[in-house]
A and B are shown apart, each in its own frame.
Chain A
């Protein structure tokens, strides 16, 4: 039912999306291809089935005005071969909501519940990014860590309930707050260490870590092309974990897996 999403890693990912109840968190430093991967996922959801998409409705929660509509339309255009009517029908499947604080996000998610009930084709929730209010929340919470994490904790609990009751899939991006040091192998996991609150960490079932990669000799890419790697950690229960990696590069038409 769900077509292959490019690359061996993604096939397994989509298979687990079949049962709903999946929360994917995409993290990485600044130039790591995260946003491109998000748009790739978004396009895959809203494109019509004839163009290889899932033709479902998507709710996009934009917390820091970072949605680049022009880039999104560029990717859709190249997949739809410049068909304007199809482009507009795809865009009408996308719903965008702006939030300006964690309290606002909480209220919006509550409001979303009614939309989820009334639109059965709405099965994906994309949040870009869930870490946008991390520093303002920490400052507002004062000295107590519990107070700092309280609001995001409430949002995570609500998201958990929406995941279970409405069988949606959540894809969120999380910006890195520490730069990674490539010098030592042990320190490379430092930038990967999750820093958001525990309720959110418990909710995430797949963590994707994006980073830049050196072009290896066996890759067939154009000269000077920047290559990224995405490393996926999937935890299905507290004991089983699966690890998978894949490389990709970005062209005008979007992400291309190697």
Chain B
């Protein structure tokens, strides 16, 4: 809704705005939707002026169409695929996290969502040497865990510190601070975070349902509207800055007892790819306690419902050590 003000375009001076307001035309949409001939008679303004104003305002405020070929070329040159660091997860996600898209990880408590997020952050920061924005809404992120993961990658403390510096952390606990943070990232802080390290390639929000589900429910619509606003902010950030967005979500049980991701049907259309994490019910040996199964529930590139099992300790496995030990950990 854009309100008509003087000086917005040539010909739109104070008198014209006042005459239009008297005829109940207060916004650009009102002007564009109304019949120019009728309006010219009503406001005693010249048809030509009004027509010219309408044309300029339309050109300023409407979206301009882009050819599909140009869009595709741009996409080819700017899209990157970020590996998560875990080959089984990469296989599920068709080589990794795609920039320009939102990928969702859902799972119950203790299913390993935050561990996967830490692993991805460490991998992108250390191996790919790019910056990561980590928005923590649950308070579950500790720098010591990130350091522990980095210490298994390298014993050089300088490299560890460099990698840690590339991970920018924001701690917020309600949806308004989240929106504030996302908007400020879009309007310049993203570029600031890129200084001194690689450019920001991944934005991780852990978890998005922790700030949105408290405002949902009941008969108010504000909660749903806020959820769609968060989704819009994440998507535009992903597209405009070519970053891969990874969000986590909780799970609920549907009527027939099936586990499904939370935040409802309206959220289900937002992420491009959705993965459900679950504990593996296996033989109770100690080494299996860190195994998780990931099921692909929504994807535009692969058949759904494919499952992969992986070890949460993959990101913190020791890279040195006897060959026998490595074989055990790589299975």
Contacts and interface: CB of A to CB of B under 8 A. Distances in A.
B328 interface: no
A30 B227 contact: no
Nearest to B2: A103
B287 interface: no
A181 B269 CA distance: 18
Interface string B209-222: 00000000000011
B300 A29 contact: no
A100 B232 contact: yes
A226 B58 contact: no
Contacts of A215: none
A14 interface: no
A224 B302 CA distance: 13
Given A103-B1, A183-B256, A108 B68 contact: no
B71 interface: yes
B324 to A, nearest CB: 37
Contacts of B64: 97
Interface residues of A, number: 56
Interface stretch (A18-26, A85-93, A200-208): A85-93
A139 B63 contact: no
B28 A31 contact: no
Interface in A168-214: 175-179, 181-183
Nearest to A148: B221
Given A30-B268, A92-B67, A96-B65, A35 B300 contact: yes
A59 B65 contact: yes
A98 B240 CA distance: 12
B221 A138 contact: yes
Interface in B65-93: 65-69, 71-72, 75, 79
B225 A139 contact: yes
Interface stretch (A1-9, A48-56, A61-69, A239-247): A61-69
Contact of A107 (B61, B75, B303): B61
Contacts of A216: none
Contact of B225 (A92, A99, A135): A135
A139 B304 contact: no
Nearest to A107: B62
Contacts of A158: 33
B75 A94 contact: no
A71 B75 CA distance: 12
Given A68-B300, A139-B224, A183-B256, A110 B32 contact: yes
B300 A71 contact: yes
Contact of A179 (B236, B254, B269): B254
B69 A183 contact: no
A182 to B, nearest CB: 8
Contacts of A133: 228
A79 interface: no
Contact of B72 (A66, A91, A104): A91
A95 interface: yes
A155 to B, nearest CB: 10
A115 interface: yes
Contacts of A30: 265, 268-269, 298
A83 to B, nearest CB: 14
A99 B61 CA distance: 11
Contact of A139 (B222, B265, B270, B297): B222
A104 B60 CA distance: 11
A115 B269 contact: no
A66 B231 CA distance: 12
Nearest to A137: B225
Nearest to B55: A114
A13 interface: no
A175 B33 CA distance: 27
Interface in B1-60: 1-2, 27-29, 32-33, 58-59
B269 A107 contact: no
Given A103-B1, A135-B266, A154-B33, A97 B66 contact: yes
A154 B227 CA distance: 25
B241 to A, nearest CB: 13
A211 B238 CA distance: 29
Contacts of B303: 224-226
A224 B68 CA distance: 34
Nearest to A39: B300
Contacts of B236: 65, 100
18 contacts: A64-B231, A69-B71, A69-B72, A70-B301, A91-B68, A95-B67, A95-B68, A104-B62, A107-B61, A107-B62, A108-B63, A110-B58, A135-B266, A139-B222, A139-B225, A140-B225, A158-B33, A179-B264
Q: Which A-B residue pairs are the 6 nearest by beta carbons?
A: A94-B68, A139-B225, A111-B62, A91-B68, A30-B268, A91-B69
Interface of A: 29-31, 35, 46, 59-60, 64-66, 68-71, 73, 88, 90-100, 103-104, 106-108, 110-111, 115, 129, 132-133, 135-136, 138-140, 154, 158, 175-179, 181-183, 224-226
